[in-house]
Amino acid sequence: MTEGLDDAVKLVLAVARLGELDLTGWWGSHGLDRTGRYVLSRSFRRTWRSAALELDVEAAARRHDVALGGRRTALHLFSDEFPFRRWAGAWLAEQKTVEDPSSIFAELTDWDMTVASASIGEWSGTPPRAEVVGDGLRIGALARAELDDAEELVPIAKLLAATYLTVGDPFRAPYFDLQA
């Protein structure tokens, strides 16, 4: 995987972790928090961190789909229209087979809100302006042709991830509208 794609995977995992109950609580999951560590490390001794983040990513995808009313034209970080979730899933599956898993696991496990915000901000950049639309934060619009080049999608992942730093409470899902 290229460095840009690695960055997109890291951002997906970071935002998935950010939404856990011990941080923002947006999706109410317990993947890498104390409860998740306790339960999952006993069931999946070697691969519990990958399993935890897989659960977080799925919980995030579901929460976004609910917030955006299941609209297929609302493209969010965990959307099926983007490859980001698939890249993260493949990377997590690969981590289950390697002898020395990535250090990102330890980093995400030790997060508090201050560290989470600083890390996501450093990795993604400045949050863009977004318009509140229902339970979403509309960043802009993308043409279907813009979804074809993986390297061109990395800046989009960064814009989406940066927007989570402005979400607050109640949760509003950052998204782009898909234009025909």
Rounded to whole angstroms, how far apart are CA atoms 27 and 17? 10
Could you give the C-alpha distances from 62 to 76, 142, 171, in angstroms and in order?
11, 22, 13
Per-run averaged pLDDT (10 residues), the chain, 180 residues? 80 97 95 92 92 96 95 95 95 89 85 95 96 96 90 94 94 94
Predicted pLDDT at 151: 80
Predicted pLDDT at 70: 86
The token pair that represents 135 in the structure block: 């339970």
**What total number of domains does the chain contain?**
1
User: Domain of 47?
Assistant: 3-179
Predicted pLDDT at 104: 86
Rounded to whole angstroms, how far apart are CA atoms 106 and 86? 22
Decide: 171 and 26 in contact? Cβ < 8 Å: yes
Predicted pLDDT at 176: 97
Predicted pLDDT at 2: 64
C-alpha closest to that of 76 among 135, 145, 5, 152:
135
Indicate the DSSP class of residue 175: E
How many Cα atoms are found within 13 Å in the side-chain-facing hemisphere of 81? 22
* Contacts of residue 77, Cβ cutoff 8 Å, sequence gap at least 6: 11, 12, 15, 60, 64, 84, 85, 157, 160, 161, 174
Predicted pLDDT at 100: 79
